[in-house]
Structure 1
Amino acid sequence: MSMGFVLLLGSCGKSGTKGELVGAQGKKWYPEKPYGMELIPRGSFIMGKTEEDQAQVLNAPTKTVTVTSFYMDDTEITNSEYRQFVEWVKDSITRTKLAILADELGLGPEDGGIGDYAFKDADTTKMSEYDKYMMDNYGGGGPLGYEGRALNKDEKLIWDTSEFPDEYYVEVMDKLYIPEEEAYNGQRTIDVTQLIYKYSWMDIDAAARSKTGSRKDFIKQTELPIYPDTTVWIKDFEYSYNEPMHNDYFWHDAYSEYPVVGVTWDQATAFCNWRTKLKNDDQKSRGKQPVNKFRLPTEAEWEYAARGGIEGGMYPWGGPYVISDTGCYMANFKPQRGDYAADAALYTVEAKSYEPNDFNLYNMAGNVSEWTSSSYDPSTYDFVSTMNPNGGDSGNARRVIRGGSWKDVAYFLQVSTRDYEYRDSARSYIGFRTVQDYMGEEDSTD
């Protein structure tokens, strides 16, 4: 009996691989260029102040470094793109609240009204055995006991108060809006403090360096409000009339293609996590492998991309001047002695303004400064690696920002100028763009 079993295994091996080492066969990888991104090819460059350090900050001594290939957004993340994130969170929270109340009332789709928004797993006849197992073992345990349950996203949410299906739906929606006593001019808006995004992530650096502890010790849970701080337009400037920007900048369609501001480093990081989830949920639905995560660029990646392949350039277009041959300013910043409008803009401009650099990236100088993933230390360049350098220190609350903004003088537009802000700070002049590690391109001949 044993001999027959061995022979059977041997024959199976021969029919598949003829006894050769061919490797484990997985799915074929079909990489796609991420939408709205440009490929930044790997290369070496001199990072730091190759030109005169006029501010004498001495925080960017020259250092030759190498970075691997990566994709980068060709523009800063816009209000429209960030609103997609906000709308997704609002949608998920609303559906969760509706599903929980329906569950508490014992209502399902057959009951109509709020029952149409009951958890999908309420009908276990449509669940696979695997889904049932996961629900039984991992569906609860949280503060509400509903973690892991499937939301019904097929049923369209109703926002018109005249069409609310029943009193239970009214009850849920009423609690999502600010109290009536806080409304004015007949406008009652969503309470944005309820728009909380929750996600988990693993501290790979800490796990790799640890000699003790299990994997679960390095899995972190994060939850934070993700609506931009629109009050930055007023708080950042004393004795200045910026109320229209506070009122309209983020939500009005007139500013849809302008860069989002008022976003902290933590909120920008949460956006990266959501964008990765959004893409990989679609990948999974189409039976495709997951893509690399979206993330903030390291300081070195940002500078390399901003230089656009120009060796020793002072600005993304080379330099050393900020005015073109035709007498036009090359970026949105604070020219001369505060003549903000001299460059054809007062505050921010649309994300695809001015000429892109040689990597086809827009506004790598001016418009808004941009968050990077790197922590700030004046001596960073003295100790970081020459290969994919990154001053990552989770205990350091200061994060590097690059590129200068609409309210900065030309010095901050230089590709090598370093500046920082605290990770929990939101400003009217700081935005961000994301990157993704390069994993090859699709073979057009396949």
Structure 2
Amino acid sequence: MKRIVLLVSAALLTAACSSGGKKGNSGRPDTKGELVSKESSKSFVAARPHGMVAIPGGSFVMGQADQDFTMTPEKTQLKTVTVSSFFMDEAEVTNAQYRLFINYVRDSIARTLLAEAAGGGQSSGDGKGEARNYAYLSQKGDKENKSGYQQFLESQGGRNGYNEAKRLDWSVPLDWNVNQYPDAKYAEILESMYVAPDKRENNKRILDVTKLQYRYEWEDIKDGSKGLRSEKKTSIAVYPDTTVWLRDFNYAYNEPLFDQYFWHMAYKDYPVVGVTWDQARAFTDYKTKAKADSNARSKKRRYAPMRFRLPTEAEWEYAARGGLENAAYPWGGPYLMDDRACYLANFKPKRGNYIEDEKKGTYMYTAPVKKFPKNGYGLYDMAGNVAEWTESPYNNSTYQFSSTLNPYISNRAYVDVKKTVRGGSWKDIGY
């Protein structure tokens, strides 16, 4: 069970160099032939993304400096490293937030199927919301109302083959109520996303989550710097694995959590679990896309879209320490309780005892986000509750040859290998 942490480098939030957008001779020197910039002299201040905190850059001693109670044979060596400033989510991604991602994937697939049907002339009837109303934007409107750039993209099949020529029309609402389906074709398309009637349990109508595939493209800068193909295309099934509540606990009855934890409103503020590393990366791409789309719709000056990603292991450890040096825990002290005997994180208090005393702030399973004190940087649950994915591979030797400046290992040899998780979880013992 893992947590997703979104992160964006503050050092990279610079204004995009404009190659157009308004008339002028910005590419010419002035009349005296001097190279004097004509760009605005206003300073740039990075806007803090919603739900994130700014982590100032600095150096720290990476690795376990205190006593190793577990006698781990793969204990990392101590190493002084420096990391740049960045933004980081103040808390775990919740079930409610991840469901936004699921709903986006569901709706985009449904709209694509409807748009394809509209392009093929397969719609019938005059009902509001029928398939033809969901046609691609390129199939709607008069040619005179489209800019020359839009007409060029459509004539070329789009910038990336056909993607921009097949932009979805999100202004037309989807109706998932079976009693409100406008026609048979609309019903056929939407029902194709559900489990077939002959495979349903107690005739319960549920989405076929195996069809919730998120496709995205990303650029491998490391490969590009070596002259290799840098453009990557990935398709990921994004629905979390709810069976972790059963598979991670042998001879235990956790069926209620399997049935309800992800979708029930009672757990909306609980951290999402059962998310793979690939799903976590897909979620960060969705977050990046949502921000980029918002910037594109804005009438204000546009800056380069922020890229959200998982933190590297060094960034995560630096942020977890909260500005403290050689501290055993994010809260600084050597004890697991405060002066009122309340636990400072959600973990397993004792052997076989998951909830020693509810009055002390312990939970039997995961806890809602922001229930425990934050660290010096304003981050919650950097120890306990749910374990957290990082961008870094799990390989003990990387500590020996990685850089001391923003250490991170990423090359073709580390694709599809084990990834590092940090922080521990509610089912781990606090030492």
Q: TM-score, normalised by structure 1?
A: 0.83
Mapped to 2, the partners of 1:286 and 1:45 lie a distance apart of: 39
Asked if residue 261 in structure 1 is aligned to residue 277 in structure 2, the reply is no
User: Does the CA-based 8 Å contact 1:95-1:117 persist in structure 2?
Assistant: yes
- Matched residue, 2:347: 333
User: Does the CA-based 8 Å contact 2:386-2:426 persist in structure 1?
Assistant: yes
User: Does the CA-based 8 Å contact 1:107-1:118 persist in structure 2?
Assistant: no
- Output aligned runs, 1:270-281, within 5 Å: 270-281=282-293
Asked if residue 177 in structure 1 is aligned to residue 194 in structure 2, the reply is yes
| Identical columns (%) | 44
List per-residue Cα deviations over 1:137-195 (Å, max 9, x = no partner): 124997xx777402111100001111111111011011011011222334201111111
> Which one has the bigger helix percentage?
1
Mapped to 2, the partners of 1:139 and 1:20 lie a distance apart of: 39
User: Does the CA-based 8 Å contact 1:78-1:256 persist in structure 2?
Assistant: yes
- Matched residue, 1:309: 323
- Matched residue, 2:54: 39
Mapped to 2, the partners of 1:360 and 1:275 lie a distance apart of: 21
Mapped to 2, the partners of 1:391 and 1:151 lie a distance apart of: 38
- Output aligned runs, 1:120-269, within 5 Å: 120-123=137-140, 124-125=142-143, 126-139=145-158, 148-208=165-225, 210=226, 212-213=227-228, 217-269=229-281
Mapped to 2, the partners of 1:170 and 1:268 lie a distance apart of: 32
- Matched residue, 2:313: 299
Mapped to 2, the partners of 1:57 and 1:79 lie a distance apart of: 36
Mapped to 1, the partners of 2:207 and 2:261 lie a distance apart of: 17
List per-residue Cα deviations over 1:287-325 (Å, max 9, x = no partner): 422332000000000000000011110000113111111
Three-state SS of the structure 2 residue aligned to 1:61 is: coil
Structure 1 residue 20 displacement after superposition: 3.5
User: Does the CA-based 8 Å contact 1:48-1:61 persist in structure 2?
Assistant: yes
Partner AA of 1:134 in structure 2: L
- Matched residue, 1:416: none
Compared CA separation, residues 24 and 43, structure 1 to 2 (3 A):
same
List per-residue Cα deviations over 1:111-137 (Å, max 9, x = no partner): 852211111111352432211221221
Consecutive unaligned residues of structure 1, counting only runs of 5 or more, are: 1-8, 412-446
Compared CA separation, residues 309 and 97, structure 1 to 2 (3 A):
same
Mapped to 1, the partners of 2:66 and 2:45 lie a distance apart of: 43
User: Does the CA-based 8 Å contact 1:284-1:290 persist in structure 2?
Assistant: no
Mapped to 1, the partners of 2:179 and 2:157 lie a distance apart of: 39
User: Does the CA-based 8 Å contact 2:123-2:185 persist in structure 1?
Assistant: no
- Matched residue, 2:109: 93
Three-state SS of the structure 2 residue aligned to 1:176 is: coil
Compared CA separation, residues 64 and 92, structure 1 to 2 (3 A):
same
User: Does the CA-based 8 Å contact 1:314-1:320 persist in structure 2?
Assistant: yes
Partner AA of 1:226 in structure 2: V
Three-state SS of the structure 2 residue aligned to 1:320 is: coil
User: Does the CA-based 8 Å contact 1:121-1:127 persist in structure 2?
Assistant: no
List per-residue Cα deviations over 1:8-33 (Å, max 9, x = no partner): x9xx8546xx5442226379656311
Partner AA of 1:400 in structure 2: T
Structure 1 residue 409 displacement after superposition: 1.1
Mapped to 2, the partners of 1:260 and 1:93 lie a distance apart of: 23
Mapped to 2, the partners of 1:378 and 1:402 lie a distance apart of: 14
Compared CA separation, residues 169 and 339, structure 1 to 2 (3 A):
same
Three-state SS of the structure 2 residue aligned to 1:294 is: coil
Three-state SS of the structure 2 residue aligned to 1:273 is: helix
- Output aligned runs, 1:423-438, within 5 Å: none
Q: Provide the alpha-carbon RMSD of the alignment.
A: 2.3
- Matched residue, 2:430: 410
Three-state SS of the structure 1 residue aligned to 2:315 is: helix
Mapped to 1, the partners of 2:222 and 2:29 lie a distance apart of: 40
- Structure 1 residue aligned with 2:98, among 82, 100, 108? 82
Three-state SS of the structure 2 residue aligned to 1:32 is: coil
Asked if residue 365 in structure 1 is aligned to residue 380 in structure 2, the reply is no
List per-residue Cα deviations over 1:47-68 (Å, max 9, x = no partner): 1111122323243111111111
Partner AA of 1:196 in structure 2: Q
User: Does the CA-based 8 Å contact 1:376-1:391 persist in structure 2?
Assistant: no
More moved, 390-399 vs 354-363 = 390-399
Structure 1 residue 394 displacement after superposition: 4.5
- Matched residue, 1:414: none
Aligned residue pair count: 392
More moved, 298-307 vs 55-64 = 55-64
Compared CA separation, residues 198 and 26, structure 1 to 2 (3 A):
farther
Mapped to 2, the partners of 1:22 and 1:135 lie a distance apart of: 38
Consecutive unaligned residues of structure 2, counting only runs of 5 or more, are: 1-24
Compared CA separation, residues 393 and 315, structure 1 to 2 (3 A):
farther
Mapped to 1, the partners of 2:394 and 2:248 lie a distance apart of: 22
Mapped to 1, the partners of 2:266 and 2:208 lie a distance apart of: 23
Mapped to 1, the partners of 2:136 and 2:403 lie a distance apart of: 49
Partner AA of 2:60 in structure 1: F
- Output aligned runs, 1:283-294, within 5 Å: 283-287=295-299, 288-294=302-308
Three-state SS of the structure 1 residue aligned to 2:407 is: coil
More moved, 321-330 vs 35-44 = 321-330
Three-state SS of the structure 2 residue aligned to 1:340 is: coil
Mapped to 1, the partners of 2:98 and 2:75 lie a distance apart of: 33
Mapped to 1, the partners of 2:36 and 2:126 lie a distance apart of: 54
Partner AA of 1:325 in structure 2: D
Asked if residue 401 in structure 1 is aligned to residue 425 in structure 2, the reply is no
- Matched residue, 2:87: 71
User: Does the CA-based 8 Å contact 2:127-2:183 persist in structure 1?
Assistant: no
Structure 1 residue 337 displacement after superposition: 1.2
